[in-house]
Structure formats: C-alpha cells, structure tokens
Amino acid sequence: MRTKILSLSLIAAMGGLLLTSVPGQAETLSQFFGKSKIDGQIRAYYFSRDYGTSAVPHANAFSLAGRLNILTAPFLGGFHVGTSFYTANSLGTQSSDPSRIDKTLMGTGSSINTLGQAFIEYNQQLFTIRAGDQLINTPWLNRVGGRVIPVTYRGVYARFTPFDNLNLIGLRVDGWKSRTSNGFYRDNLYYPTSYNGDALYGGPNNLPANASPSNGAVAFGAKYSIDQAKLHAWYYNFNDFANMFYGSGQYSFPTQNVFKPFAAAQFVREWKANNAFSQTGTQLFGQTGEAVDSTAYGIKTGVSFSKGSIYWAYDTTRLHQGALGGGAIVSPYTVGYTADPLYVDAMIQGLVGVGPGHGWRLRAAYWVCQHKVKLTSGYSRFNTYFSGKSNWTHFSVTYFPGGRYQGLSLRDQVEVANGGLNLFPGSGEKSFVYNRVMVAYKF
C-alpha cells in the first residue's frame, strides 16, 4: 500500500506541475501532447524446464504481457514526466501444483499489474537528473529484461557530461521491483520469497525471514570513450552487503576490411566485514566465512563482421579461504538473474551463481535471409571449487519479418546443461533442458 501511495502521489505532483506550467508555454496543449512520446510492447512467452530426473516434475509457464510507456514533451526548459505500466497474465494456464510452474517467468500468481516507472526528469546538454521509479542500466544494477516484466528501481539518478567522450554518473536507490513483483520493496535477490509480502522468485534466496530490510545501494561511475577504446570504472556500495569496484575496457582494432577484431578486459574487487550474511549467520556455498572478500578478472576477444560476430571469453573468481562463500562475488540485484557484466555466462547461469572458480565461453551469432533471421549458439564451461564442473550449450533462432510487421519478433531458444553440484535438480545425473519460446511486438 505504501508503494502505491508513493507512486500515485508522485504522479499527482508531476501532473499538477505539468498543468500549471504548460499554459504559460507558446505551444498549445494539443501541440504539447502531440510531441509527447507513447510506445509499448506486447509479449507472449512460454517457458519449459525438463530437469532430467523423475524426482522433480517438469515445470512450465505461459504469460501474455504488455507495457505502455509515456514520456511527455519538455516543459519549463527541460523537465519531462515519464510513466510505464506493466501487466502480465497467465490466462488461467498456471498449474495448480506450484512445483510444476516455472516461477521465474511471473511467479505463481495469475497476474501482475504494476506501475513500474513514475518519474520526473530534468535534462540539459551537460546533465540529466531523474527521480522516482525508473529503469536503471549500470553494470551491476540493471534492468534485467529477459522476462515479461523488467526490473525497476526507486531512487535518484544523475548524469553529468563535461565533454562529449566522458559521462559521470551517480545514483541512489532505496527500493526495487523484481520481475515477479507487483510493487517496490526494501529487499533484493538474497531475501526469501514472500519477504514482507514480496513475491520474489529467481534469486538464491539465502537470507532468513528475520533479516533486516535492505538500505538499497549507492553507485558512482565514469564512462570514457576515445577513438576505438571504451573505458568504464564503477564504485558500488550495496548497503549492508558489499562494497565493490568494477573496471572494464574494450578496444576495437581499426581495419579496412569487413572483419573488425576487438579485445576486452574486466576486473572486480569486493570487500565488507559487517554485512547481512554475518549478521544472520548465513553461509554461501556451504563455507563458514563471514567477511566479503572477492577478486575476479576476465578477458574477451573476438571479431565482428557485417553478418555476425564470434568471441571467446574467460573469467575467474579467486578462492579466498575464510571469506564469505570462499571469495564469492556478492551481487544483490543480479545474482540468479545472469544479468551481471561478467563475460562468461549462460542463458540461466553465470560465474557469480556458481561461486569461486573459473569458466570460459564461446559464442557466435550470424544473420541469414537478408538480416531477417538471427542464429546464435554458445557453449560455456565452469570449473568451480564448490559447485563442481558444468557445461551449458545454448541455441537460439530469432525471426524479424520486418516490412508491414515491423516491430515483430519471434524467438525460440534452448539450453542444455550437464554436471555441476546442486546447480539444478538432477545435477550430475542427466541433462537439464530449458526451452523458451518468445513472441514480441513493439509499437
């Protein structure tokens, strides 16, 4: 209820500001609304999981979902108001047995209806500041859009551009809405499902129900590009969880032919002694350590060309004996979502989710049929201290008809996983097969 009141209050305040300011502008109301932007998307997704063991039933889920975005034309010299409404409905297809539902799609309920964005923004050439409920896209705190409803956050975001090649970013969030939630909560992916009423699915859910509410996160970042190089540096304070430094860089080698080689590198360092895990006696990967102490780095190299790309990547998270999870990366808003920026991941798994160790990934994408069909294939392999060895093979076919069906896409992707310890029901027995059929239309 508090979330709904805050969102409605923000909309009312923004609406009042808009109505009192527009009459003083040179444009008429009709011209103003004519320059405002309205767009959206309709999605129909069907997910199915075959765990490869008779001990665990197959799970599936269907959802028909949509979003409607409204962004007003500028007023008062640079203000905008934005809202996004999200809805998802299973149309009565959910099983009466919760164990047979793929809960990561939209939870176990029959519908989700939420005002995911409601913000006011001031935008000038040198800086932008946005306050309210919003999408945020930074490396370790992002939108996670791989389901029918994206993740959104409640807070303040600011960007300063002193010159063309440099962006300085700062943000503070104190609440978020997961992809299976109806509203905003002071928790994250480490909290248990139904924590304070949050229908939170998809995370590791390590913490007990009596854990203190999350105090959100603060982040500062710098993005710099020059010629063929791109550099990123970020500091995150996940309050009560971890402090993190993240840096990355990529260089695209200039060539005169169609093939464009590139190379990239990344680095992660985390630390924090007094945290939510030590306060609640919670372990990660069965390790007794309490202090966050993590180091990870990776490399990536490949080539892009007019019809596709191919790359190979390697990441490693060092073992820190006596640390939380043996040196595991703590990522409150991406763990379990495979939305973190590490190069080595799979459709539903990443190095953050399997703990300290190393992994590599080979991925290729190729366009056929005059860029109407995209074929993607990937293979990832993890060798970890506490989750064993596993491999993940991924195939995807996406069709973009174009023409009179501009905005429509049809995608079928499947992943086959083998090995590992406790990564999924049936780990180490038979293959786990995950299939996703997705139809989307943007308007």
Mean pLDDT, range 346-359, rounded to an integer: 95
Residue-level pLDDT at 424: 86
Cα-to-chain-centroid distance, residue 79: 27
52 pLDDT tier (thresholds 50, 70, 90): confident
CA distance 56 to 432: 11
Residue ranges with strand state E in 273-307: 292-305
Residue-level pLDDT at 9: 52
**Tokens, residue 27:** 């444009």
Mean pLDDT, range 112-126, rounded to an integer: 96
CB 348 within 8 A of CB 334: no
Q: What pLDDT, in 10s, does the model give residues 184-236? A: 999 999 999 999 999 999 999 999 999 999 999 999 999 999 999 999 999 99
Closest CA to 323 of 351, 295, 342: 295
Q: Examine the pLDDT at 4 and tell me if it is beyond 80.
A: no
Total domains in the chain come to 1
Burial of 320 (0-12, 13-18, 19+ CB in 10 A): buried
Q: What pLDDT, in 10s, does the model give residues 237-264? A: 999 999 999 999 999 999 988 999 999 9
Provide the mean pLDDT of the chain. Answer: 93
% of the chain residues with pLDDT over 90: 86
Q: What pLDDT, in 10s, does the model give residues 363-403? A: 999 999 999 999 999 999 999 999 999 999 999 999 999 99
The CATH number assigned to the domain holding 437 equals 2.40.160.10
Q: Examine the pLDDT at 26 and tell me if it is beyond 60.
A: no
Mean pLDDT, range 294-308, rounded to an integer: 97
Mean pLDDT, range 154-183, rounded to an integer: 97
CA distance 362 to 344: 9
CB 315 within 8 A of CB 351: yes
Residue-level pLDDT at 313: 98
32 pLDDT tier (thresholds 50, 70, 90): confident
Q: Examine the pLDDT at 427 and tell me if it is beyond 90.
A: no
Residue-level pLDDT at 3: 47
Residue-level pLDDT at 54: 85
Domain extent at residue 332? 2-442
Residue-level pLDDT at 138: 98
CB 108 within 8 A of CB 199: yes
425 pLDDT tier (thresholds 50, 70, 90): confident
3-state DSSP call for residue 24?
helix
* pTM assigned to the model: 0.91
